[in-house]
Amino acid sequence: MSVLVLRLAAPLQAWGASARFVRRTTESAPTKSGVIGMLAAAQGLDRDDDAGLSRLAALRFGVRIDQPGTRVRDFQTAHHAVTGKSMPLSERFYLADAVFVAALEGEGAFLDELHTALRAPVHPLFLGRRSCPPALPVELATRDSSLLQALRDEPWQASGWYQRLRGKEHTVSLSVLREPVQGEEHGDILRDQPLSFAAAHRRHALRSVVSTTVEVPNPRAVAPRVPAAAHPVPRHEPFDAVEEETL
Amino acid sequence: MYLTRFRVNTARPGARRLLSSPQSLHAAVMASFPGLLPTTSTGGAEGPRVLWRLDHNARAEVFLYVVSPGRPDLTHLVEQAGWPAAALDPDTPGWQSRPYTPFLDRLAAGDVWEFRLTANPVHQIRRKDGEPTKRTAHLTPVHQQGWLLDPKRQERAGFRILEKPQDQRLLPGGTTHHNHPHHGDRYQLTVRDERALSFAKSREERSQAHRVKFVMVTFDGRLEVTDPDALRRTLTQGLGKAKAYGCGLMTLAPVPTPPAPGE
C-alpha cells in the first residue's frame, strides 16, 4: 500500500462537517470530505461525477494536527453586489494559522496520478472554503508505507515560531485522527464520508475516526540552559606542593 | 614563612559576618599572630607580610589561605566561623599550617606550576591633559588578563605564563574592533569570579566618598619559573594592590600528571 502525504497550512482554513444554513462551523482538523473535494478539484472532476468520486472516497484517510491554530469567528454582513440588498446575516468559523499533515492510503499508481494532479490542478485548490487558499504547496510526497507509519515518519511541519515556542520539548506528541484498520474497534462517528458532491443532492455517509497520538522529534529543540554555578571551579590544592616537604 | 588553610563553616552567623566584610576578615586574620601588636606596621613595601585569600570553591566550600612570616593561631576564627567541637583534638586544631620556607627554597628556574591568584587589576588613567592620574579598575576579562600578562609585570614577579599549544586555541590573537591588542586565548590563563566590592571602613563613617571600592578577580593558570628569587618575593609579599583585603596572594600547586594512555 502507498500513502500520499499532504501538508495543509494556510492563514485560514475551515473544515465543516455538520454546518448548515447561516452558521458555518469548523472542525478542529481537516475532514475527509474537504480533502477529497480538494483532490477532486485538482483532478477536474465534475460535481455530479459520482463514479470518479467513489474512487477517491475509497482511499483510507488520516490527519495529524501539527499546529492546532486558533478558532476565529467571522460575523458576516454581506450585501448583494448588484442589487445592494442585504444577504442573510451569517456566522463563519475558521482555523487561523493551523498546520496539518493529511495522508491518504491507497493504490500506488492512483496516488501518483493524484500527486501529479495536485502539482497542476484543474481548479484552484483551497482548504475547506473557497476563501482559504493554501500558504504552501500542498503535496509533500507519495510513500510506500502504511497510513500510520507515514504519519509517524513525516517531519514536524509546524511553523518555526511554533516549534521554538515548544523548544523545551525534544519530541512533541501530536494527535492523529484516522480511519480504523480492519478488526480495530470503532471510534467517534463523523458524517464526512462523501457520496456525492452534486449540487442537487449533496450526500455524506457516516465515517468512524480513531484518535491516537504520535511522537515526532522537534528540530528546533534547545538544550536547557546550564546555570553558571554548574561550571566547576578549577581544582587548586597548594598543600599538595607543600606537604611533600613536611612528611 | 607559613602556609595556612582554614575551612570556613559557611552556615554560622560569624562566618557570614566575616565573609561579608573584607575589613572584618582582615582584622581577624591580623589577630591570628600573637606577636603582632595592632600598632605594628604590617610591613612596608619590602619584607614579608601577611597575605590572605578566600577561595570560594563551592557554596559551602570556602577556604581561607594565609601566607605569613609567623605561625598563626586561628583559634578565634574556629570559635566564630569554624568547627570548634571537631577541634578539641590537639592534632586537628581546626586549621592546617605548614612551613612554607622549604617549598620556597626548592623553587628553581624552569619549574612549571599551576597557580591561583586573586588580585586587584588596576591601571592609572588621566582623562584630560593636566589632570592628576587616577587609579581605575580593569573591568573586562581581556584587560584583566592583559594586566597579568604584561611582560614587565611577569618579569618583575619572576614567572612566565605558559602558552597553549596551537591546536588547543579557539580564538586567534590580534586586535579588538577598537584596534586594541587582544591576546585571544593564547595563554594558559583563565579569569573568573569578578567581584566589585564597596564597604565602609568603620560603622561611624557612612558617607559614600569614604567607602572602600575596588574590583577583585581570580586568575587560574600555568606558569614557568623564570627568576626564583623574584617569585619567592611575589609569593610572600603579594602581587598588585589591595593586599589587606584579600588580594595579591598567589599559591602554586603541582601540575596534574595526565593519565597514561590506555587507562
In chain B, what residues touch A238 (CB-CB under 8 Å)?
3, 5, 65, 116, 251-253
Min Cα distance B222 → chain A (Å) is 11
- Residue A119's Cβ-count burial label (10 Å; 0-12, 13-18, 19+) is exposed
A122-141 pLDDT, tens digit per residue, is 999 999 999 999 999 999 99
The 3-state secondary structure of B18-38 reads HHHCHHHHHHHHHCCCCCCCC
Q: With a cut of 70, say whether residue B72 has pLDDT above it.
A: yes
d(CA B60, CA B7): 9
Q: How confident is the model at residue A80 (pLDDT cuts 50, 70, 90)?
A: very high
- Cα Rg of chain B, angstroms: 20
Strands B250-253 and B112-119, how do they pair?
Answer: antiparallel
Please judge whether B116 and A242 are an interchain contact, meaning their C-beta atoms are less than 8 angstroms apart. no
Q: What is the pTM of this model?
A: 0.57
SS3 call for A34:
helix
Please judge whether B103 and A241 are an interchain contact, meaning their C-beta atoms are less than 8 angstroms apart. yes
The 3-state secondary structure of A95-113 reads EEEEEEEEEEEECHHHHHH
In chain B, what residues touch A246 (CB-CB under 8 Å)?
98-99, 102
Q: With a cut of 60, say whether residue A231 has pLDDT above it.
A: yes
Mean pLDDT to the nearest integer, B216-242: 92
Supply A99's cell numbers.
Answer: 498546520
d(CA A64, CA A152): 9
Point out the least confidently predicted range of B68-77, B90-99, B100-109, B135-144. Answer: B90-99
Q: With a cut of 80, say whether residue B243 has pLDDT above it.
A: yes
CA-based nearest residue in chain A for residue B112: A241
Q: With a cut of 60, say whether residue A246 has pLDDT above it.
A: no
Q: How confident is the model at residue B39 (pLDDT cuts 50, 70, 90)?
A: low
Amino acid A247: pLDDT: 45
Q: How confident is the model at residue A245 (pLDDT cuts 50, 70, 90)?
A: very low
Buried (b) or exposed (e) across A12-50, using 16+ Cβ within 10 A? bbbbbbebeeeebbbbebbbbbbbbbbbbbbbebeeebb
Q: How confident is the model at residue B59 (pLDDT cuts 50, 70, 90)?
A: confident
Picking from A229, A235, A238, the nearest residue to B252 by CB comes out as: A238
Q: How confident is the model at residue A241 (pLDDT cuts 50, 70, 90)?
A: confident
Mean pLDDT to the nearest integer, B185-206: 84
Q: Can you say whether residue A97 is alpha, beta or left, with left for phi > 0 and alpha for psi between -120 and 50 degrees?
A: left
Please judge whether A242 and B190 are an interchain contact, meaning their C-beta atoms are less than 8 angstroms apart. no
In chain A, what residues touch B56 (CB-CB under 8 Å)?
233
Picking from B59, B65, B253, the nearest residue to A240 by CB comes out as: B253
- As beta bridge partners, residue A217 has A171
DSSP state of B187: B
Amino acid B45: pLDDT: 53
User: What is the value of ipTM here, to two decimals?
Assistant: 0.73
Strands B211-225 and B250-253, how do they pair?
Answer: unpaired
Phi then psi for residue A165, to 5 deg, are -60, -35
Tell how far CA A210 is from the center of its chain. 15
CB contact A173 to B (< 8 Å) = no
CB contact A238 to B (< 8 Å) = yes
Supply A116's cell numbers.
Answer: 501529479
Top-confidence range, A15-19, B158-162, B169-173 = B158-162
CA distances from B187 to B36, B245, B248, B252 (A): 40, 28, 20, 17
Q: Is the dihedral of CA A236, A242, A247, B4 positive or negative?
A: negative
Picking from B58, B103, B113, the nearest residue to A242 by CB comes out as: B103
Please judge whether B98 and A240 are an interchain contact, meaning their C-beta atoms are less than 8 angstroms apart. no
Amino acid A60: pLDDT: 94
Whether residue A103 contacts residue A150, with contact meaning beta carbons closer than 8 Å, is answered with: yes
A185-215 pLDDT, tens digit per residue, is 878 899 999 999 998 888 999 999 999 999 9
Strand runs (DSSP E) across A14-138, as ranges? 23-24, 60-67, 70-76, 90-106
Q: How confident is the model at residue B40 (pLDDT cuts 50, 70, 90)?
A: low
Amino acid B262: pLDDT: 57
CA distances from B110 to A243, B18, B222, B223 (A): 21, 39, 12, 9
- HSE-CB for A105 with a 13 A CA cutoff: 17
Interface of chain B toward chain A, CB-CB under 8 angstroms:
3, 5, 55-59, 65, 96, 98-100, 102-103, 106, 113-114, 116, 190, 192-193, 220, 251-254, 256
Choice between B180 and B131, residue whose per-residue pLDDT is larger: B131
- As beta bridge partners, residue A207 has A190
